[in-house]
A = this chain, B = another copy of it.
Amino acid sequence: MALRISDKMQVVRGSVIREMAEAAATRKGTISFANGNPSSDTFPVEDFATFAADAFREDPDGILQYGLSQGYLPLIDTTKERLHLKWGIDFEKNDLTIVSGGQQVCDFASKVLLNEGDVVIVEEPSFSSCYNTFRAYGAKLVGVPMHPDGMDIDILAQRLEEYPEARMIYVIPNFQNPTGYITSMEKRHQIYDLAVKYNVAIFEDDPYCEIRFTGEDLMPIKSFDTEGIVVYAGSYSKTMAPAFRLGIAVFDKSLTSRMIVSKQTTDVHSSLLFQYITNRCIKERDYEGHLEYCRSVYRKKSELMYNELVRTMHPSVRVSRPEGGLFMMMFLPEGCDSLPFVWEALYRGVVCVPGSGFMIDQDAPCNSMRLCYSTATEEEIVRGARILGELTQEWLADK
């Protein structure tokens, strides 16, 4: 006897990114550019340990009993204050809850705003775990190609016209996963205006905004969302620690009760201990200094990888040059499938994720691959980038 699987879960596949990362872990000595993890060097472990010990000693009940579904109130206040000061987000109009990672904001936004059969318009390539979240609610994905300054606005406009069942646009405006691209301010406004015109929600996924290491900050779409159509996802995963599983959901107050019920019906509340620790790190430590340190780590690593690639790779290969975040994307010439290249690279000791893993159709050929510079050591970055660069020379020798 076999249970029937729900229609929506029939079509969802596992994460290629996680599979590549696990493949890397099983091969000793492999240099991994696959994991999108932050660097362990950036974790303020001493502070974490101190504050954890305080919590167990001073208020064990406060961190061990059931907590509020909206989050730990002091961290909510601290986070609102930061988002208001940095991005001018208006908390008269919006609400904020702490959830279990940015991914869970995507889950709740989908639960609250999508019916089965609705269309979500997505940047393509993009973070495939969010593609899967939309699919798990029975949504259909329609892609819009990415340019270095954000999604193609003409095609976005066309798609909105073509698909009246579109209910959401999915955007990663800063240091996009996997391309590393930044959506320009002009395009942020254009995307918003189109969303308003077609009465479509925007899911603005912004986990990397705190780690811009060069150039000027751009305001999130949420900052000028007068109509209340943007659900914004922030994260403490990249600046505290991923296993804290702390995401930030910002949304119009009309959605509050549904966002809280979403939490009640899944994991009830997020870790009180990690919310407590995060709040104390921000309030009592030099949090701006910590962020500056994180940025310096990624700036250095990013430059090492970029320079070594540019120095060694075949002239027909292109690589994005990130201003923040954890990764860049390498593009083989058009028409050259990256999948066999990625396998050959793995054989030579470097693992990265083929671009097809970020496409709606993961089986179609794709000429790109995502390179994370966050977790490898500086020495590994240079060595790994050189292996990749030299491999492109061999690979494309006859082209």
Contact = CB atoms under 8 A, between A and B. Distances in A.
A252 B5 CA distance: 12
A359 interface: no
B254 A267 contact: no
When all copies of this chain in the complex are counted, the total is 2
Contact of A265 (B56, B63, B129): B129
21 contacts: A3-B229, A6-B113, A6-B114, A6-B115, A13-B261, A14-B264, A35-B66, A40-B64, A49-B57, A64-B242, A66-B242, A99-B267, A100-B100, A101-B268, A107-B266, A133-B266, A136-B265, A245-B267, A245-B269, A267-B267, A273-B273
A35 to B, nearest CB: 8
A143 B64 CA distance: 34
Interface string A24-48: 0000000000010100100101001
Interface string A188-206: 0000000010010100000
A139 to B, nearest CB: 10
A252 B1 CA distance: 11
Interface string A10-21: 001111001000
Contacts of A18: 69, 264
Contacts of A196: 1
A56 B60 contact: no
Which 4 A/B pairs are nearest by Cβ-Cβ distance? A100-B267, A49-B56, A64-B241, A133-B265
Given A9-B111, A66-B37, A271 B245 contact: yes
B60 A45 contact: yes
A258 interface: yes
A258 B12 contact: yes
Nearest to A114: B6
A99 B267 CA distance: 9
Chain A interface category by residue count: 35 or more
Given A40-B60, A64-B241, A261 B112 contact: no
Nearest to A199: B1
Max count, chain B CB within 10 A of own CB: residue among A9, A18, A265, A269: A265
A2 interface: yes
A52 to B, nearest CB: 5
A67 interface: yes
Contacts of A1: 196, 199, 227-229
A60 B37 contact: no
A65 B243 contact: yes
B53 A264 contact: no
B45 A52 contact: no
A391 interface: no
B261 A132 contact: yes
A199 B115 CA distance: 27
Contacts of A63: 243
Nearest to A231: B3
A279 interface: no
Contacts of A228: 1-3
Given A1-B199, A40-B61, A15 B264 contact: yes
A59 to B, nearest CB: 10
A97 B111 CA distance: 23
Contact of A49 (B53, B99, B258, B271): B53
A40 to B, nearest CB: 5
Contacts of A266: 100, 103-104, 107, 133, 266-267
